Amino acid sequence: MIEHRTAQLARWFACLSLLLMIRPASALPGDLDLTYGGGTGAVFAAPVAVYDTLSATVRRSDGRFLVGGYCNSASLSRAFCLSSRNADGSPDASFNGTGSTLTQVATGFTSDTALALALQTDGKALLAGWCDSSSRDFCVVRYNTNGTLDTTFGDAGKRLLDFGNSNNSDTLTALVVQGDGRIVLIGFCNGQSTFCIARLTSTGQLDSTWGGTGLVATDIVANDLDLAQAGTLLPDGRLVIAGFCRTTPGSPFTAYDFCLTRYLANGTLDTTFGTAGIVITPVGTEWDQPHTLKRLPDGRLLAAGQCRVPDDAGTGLKDSFCAARYQANGALDTTFGIGGKVTISPAPEFRYGGIDVYADGRILVAGACRHLNATSGCNATFGAGKFLLMRLTAAGALDISFAAGGINYFALGRYSNYAYPANVTLLPDGKVLFTASCAVGAAGDPNPNGAVFCFARFEGEPSPPVLCTLDLDGDGQVLATTDALLHLRIALGVPDTAKTTGITFPASATRNNWSAIDTYLRSLCAPASPYCMLDIDGDGLNTALTDAAIHLRIAAGLRDSRVVAGLNFPANAPRRTWTDLRQYLATQCGVTGLQN
């Protein structure tokens, strides 16, 4: 055993020495990655139109990524625009020949404003927002992988939806795709006073199993402002929506709180969540606006956006990053920040962009800021401020191991406009992709008259690896009748439709259907080996006679050499003895109670 551990330490130090030799000494988490963008760390896209505003980013499994938003041009007042980029930020020529496409959705001289982007499992892309010509409606467009409109969707690739209220103010802000291909559109309507959610079939038709008509409207605070901004699906098909609601009738527009609702799969409010399906949370002093909602691997919910809090002098308010973390039932998670809430003020003026979350719970935040009188940090180098990238610990504090004290302030292009949105994406190798719109205008900029899509990459470090998974359904237990049985069926190649047949999942399971379990397992592994976390003996395969058998025996309560009795391990399996497997199961799979 001592020799085995010595060999492990020797290999670990050898790998560390190699990393130190190949990684520049100055490259720390949060620094610009100077291997990106030809040594600058940044890439500026060619103009799609005159003014290109980026709203959303999604990454494909092969490293390419899509950025979507709205672009203003001379011939089209405002149109949807979508660009496909290679991993290095260069245009993906397989997408519309140029890497970008421009789509007018409504007819006439319109304001088509795309705010949400999602990928389907078949690689097609959905870009959605609101379209305003004679009235404002939800609108969504589906594109084939080559950038052409998918004419099998809606009306020749496009779909407009009217909730039928007299205010003509249907505004779509978010989009999610269910595992079965149905599409959920999220926003607000009826004069900004109602959460409005539409569900479409995979072909773009209204799904009548959602609220009876495909359209559901919820008045959170009666006769006042309710603006839905984001949503996330739960493994069992329920839907959680986050937005901001004015809880003091007649008060100024700044009097908003975070508000969340949860719906059953049929569109009715889930009364087991919060109070009758609704949770309202004041976070800052005023203007509490969540724009992102993420479901964490353990089932908790993280809502993030911005709010206003007292300034340092106590004489006014300043814009800040604000977040709240909730238990699955809607109660605040008091292990996060102060009482479940976090407020951080990077500068007197802060504009939220987006977040991404590490497997260990750390949070990346992208945004923009302005401090016109500052001599450091977010002072404006020219015009209107800088971008920023910030990292928090899982508990909600600034992570001082990232950049300078947790925040990197930077400019892209001629200047980084405080008003422009920004997104952040954690890459598989731990690096960070930042995507935004950049104001331009100086000589040599790609679009001298407006703004372009821009991308930057930052240094990071990989999340601690998850090496083994025995709790497949996420209930905190390893059971023979759920986890081990699923493992066996995966190893035997049972069809997806039958993998969960006859299985009764515990009420505490956070993944209680095959779609959720499959998505979880694939998120931990490379596409070429989607179930690598089930390879217990380390031979590169997931087999019934070794890996699944070990899983079953552990689930049955064995914690000694009987776990491997009678098993015939492949010659290339690095873990073939009880000594090696015992250590692996204890340290990498979290199996407790092991003994010789």
- CA proximity to 154, closest of 164, 140, 168: 140
pLDDT of residue 443: 47
Let me know: does 483 contact 472? Beta carbons within 8 Å.
yes
Report how far residue 454's alpha carbon sits from residue 368's, in angstroms, rounded to the nearest whole number: 14
Handedness of CA 522, 524, 526, 530 (dihedral sign): negative
- Which residue numbers in the chain have pLDDT < 70? 1-26, 74-76, 109, 166-167, 253, 372-376, 380-384, 414-419, 440-449, 462-466, 595-596
- The b-or-e profile of 34-59 (16+ CB within 10 A means b, else e) is bebbeeebbbbbebbbebbbbbbbbb
pLDDT of residue 134: 76
Report how far residue 577's alpha carbon sits from residue 580's, in angstroms, rounded to the nearest whole number: 5
Q: Two tokens at 555?
A: 């689930």
pLDDT of residue 18: 31
Report how far residue 554's alpha carbon sits from residue 562's, in angstroms, rounded to the nearest whole number: 10
Let me know: does 96 contact 104? Beta carbons within 8 Å.
no
Phi, psi of 190, deg, nearest 5: 55, 55
Amino acid of residue 492: L
Let me know: does 479 contact 461? Beta carbons within 8 Å.
no
Let me know how long the chain is.
596
- How many angstroms separate the first and last alpha carbons of the chain? 12
pLDDT of residue 332: 97
Let me know: does 188 contact 173? Beta carbons within 8 Å.
yes
- CA proximity to 574, closest of 455, 467, 478: 467
pLDDT of residue 279: 98
Report how far residue 505's alpha carbon sits from residue 517's, in angstroms, rounded to the nearest whole number: 12
Encode pLDDT of 308-355 as tens digits: 999 877 888 999 999 999 999 999 999 999 999 999 999 888 999 999
Sheet holding 125-132, edge to edge: 111-119, 125-132, 136-143, 158-161
